[in-house]
Amino acid sequence: MSSAPGPEVGTGAPARPWRGLALLTFPLIVLALDVSVLFLAAPALSRDLGASPAQLLWITDIYGFCIAGFLIVMGVLGDRVGRRRLLVIGCLAFAGASTLAAFAPTAGWLIVARALLGLAGATLMPSTLALIRVLFPDEGERQKAIAIWMTAFSASVALGPVLGGVVIDQLWWGAVFLFPVPLLVVFAVLAHRTLPEERVEDPAPLDLLSVGLIAGTMLGVAYAIKSAAVGDLGVLTIAVFAAAVIAGVVAVRRQFHTRHPLIEPALLTNRRLLAGLVLLLMSVTAMNGFYFLVPQYFQHVQGRSATSTGLLMLPLAGAAVVASLATPPLLGKIRPPFLVASGAILAGAGFLALSLHSGPLSTLTLTLLGCAIVAGISAMGVVMTDLVVGLAPPRHAGAAAGLSETAGELGVALGVAILGSISVFAYRATVEGSTAPLDDTTRTTVADSIASARTLAENSPPQRDTILDVAADAFVSGLSWAAVTATAAMVLCVLLALTVLRTTSTPAEE
């Protein structure tokens, strides 16, 4: 296969890179907001839709798993049908799925709508990232563009709870899905007229078997993690997890033997690129688990409103913006492996301090630790995303972008699934082992979730303080154990950056 000679602009005019970048950040902002906008909606969803704890996990996480499951597919599809065209189609599909989610009458309906949102969202990220490569062929300008791109994503994830809190308090949870719909339609029109188009000439047939294997791997892992999170470790859960792992292994091996691989084998054998993907996966997993748990602490332990909780997340958005924009200038002074290791050390120090803290956390302490965590991981994300995209040849830019964003979105989903599950297990164990004078029925309800504990406390005045104290102590214990896991992930990131990344060549040398 050979790539098209250059970008073709829909209007026939020469491409304007920075104007194009400004336009490309919009679908990314919408996509990122949907990652975290429902973090504060658990009480409302339980009340309005009767969502069970398991359904709440699926509503929160199925979006990220579906994006991760189809990002590679959509990245490769964009190489074939045209990245601008796929971006326009994806925006319109996202608008339609958002409308379905906004008016979901049941929890099951909302889960399906969130899955459709994930499928549509999978068309957006690899298309925007691949078009950035087209718009900015110069390495220095591309680093700045990717830093702005990452800043928009990180800040939007942090702003999601702010927007969600205000909308949930003032309107209703479904309204969070409606505000971007008309803007997405306008974006689709502008993108068609102003963004460059690029596609691979004479593309090979799409390997549908690989598509099914990769999607099955992601969804199978999602099912197993969700089942484990609610205590279901039966034969079916183990069988699904084993099948998902086998499907993933078969999918990777198939890329080396089929005539028309979905993922270029050269991308799968590049140690530097693979190290970047692993670093992205671990760092985003740690950060998004933090994003998921901290709003719950503000809302359920400190008893804050959704709006107040969302506003307390604003400093984290500021830390993400500052760190992302400060990274490109630092790349000219510090080698990427050392910059990545420094970001991991900063984030790891924040997680370590959180894991060692005992007793109630003050708002200031949690905010400062959160800023350190978000700043360190945001800097890592800019470096590793640029590395992954920069290493790929132009004709595989969409596939490389798909791999990069698969690692990121899988990290988003795993952050909730893994760190959320660890927190749940530790919370339940702490409640069940508490010596507080609670009868069996009350203890069982409190152990179910901190949301259930808070509801029970409000309806049981004589035991209110006891229930809230037990639940708060248990949640802090769960948060600490999640932080221990995140600290370990950051240690592995430091080791990987100082070994694999340091002993391989730089992008310029390659």
Both tokens of 377, joined, read 């991981």
pLDDT at 113 over 50: yes
pLDDT reported for residue 12: 37
Buried/exposed code over 393-427 (b: 16+ C-beta within 10 A; e: otherwise):
ebbbbbbbbbbbbbbbbbbbbbbbbbbbbbbbbbb
- Per-residue pLDDT tens digits for 331-342: 778 888 888 899
CB atoms within 10 A of CB 116: 20
Q: How confident is the model at residue 490 (pLDDT cuts 50, 70, 90)?
A: very high
Point out the least confidently predicted range of 62-66, 107-111, 394-398.
394-398
**Residues 431, 432, 433, CA angle at the centre, nearest 5°?**
90
- Per-residue pLDDT tens digits for 303-314: 777 778 778 878
pLDDT at 174 over 80: no
Both tokens of 375, joined, read 């700043």
pLDDT at 138 over 70: yes
- Per-residue pLDDT tens digits for 439-461: 777 887 777 777 777 777 777 77
**Cα–Cα dist 64/213, whole Å:** 18
**Cα–Cα dist 153/160, whole Å:** 11
Both tokens of 165, joined, read 């809190």
pLDDT reported for residue 353: 92
Q: How confident is the model at residue 10 (pLDDT cuts 50, 70, 90)?
A: very low
pLDDT reported for residue 508: 40
Share of the chain above pLDDT 70, in %: 83
pLDDT reported for residue 331: 74
Question: What is the mean predicted confidence (pLDDT) over 27-52?
Answer: 70
pLDDT reported for residue 9: 40
Question: What is the mean predicted confidence (pLDDT) over 337-360?
Answer: 88
Question: What is the mean predicted confidence (pLDDT) over 220-225?
Answer: 77
Residue with more model confidence, 249 or 143: 249
**Cα–Cα dist 233/230, whole Å:** 9
pLDDT reported for residue 296: 80
- Per-residue pLDDT tens digits for 188-206: 888 777 776 766 666 666 7
pLDDT reported for residue 492: 92
Question: What is the mean predicted confidence (pLDDT) over 162-183?
Answer: 76
What one-letter code names the amino acid at 500? V
Residue-range domains of the chain with CATH: 2-206+262-501 (1.20.1250.20)
Residue with more model confidence, 67 or 93: 93
Question: What is the mean predicted confidence (pLDDT) over 272-288?
Answer: 84
Q: Could you write out the three-class secondary structure of 419-487?
A: HHHHHHHHHHHHHHCCCCCCCHHHHHHHHHCHHHHHHHHHCCHHHHHHHHHHHHHHHHHHHHHHHHHHH
Please provide the average confidence, as pLDDT, over all residues in the chain: 77
pLDDT reported for residue 11: 38
Q: Quickly list DSSP for 251-270.
A: HHHHHTTSSS-SS-HHHHS-
Burial (Cβ within 10 Å: 0-12, 13-18, ≥19) of residue 145: buried
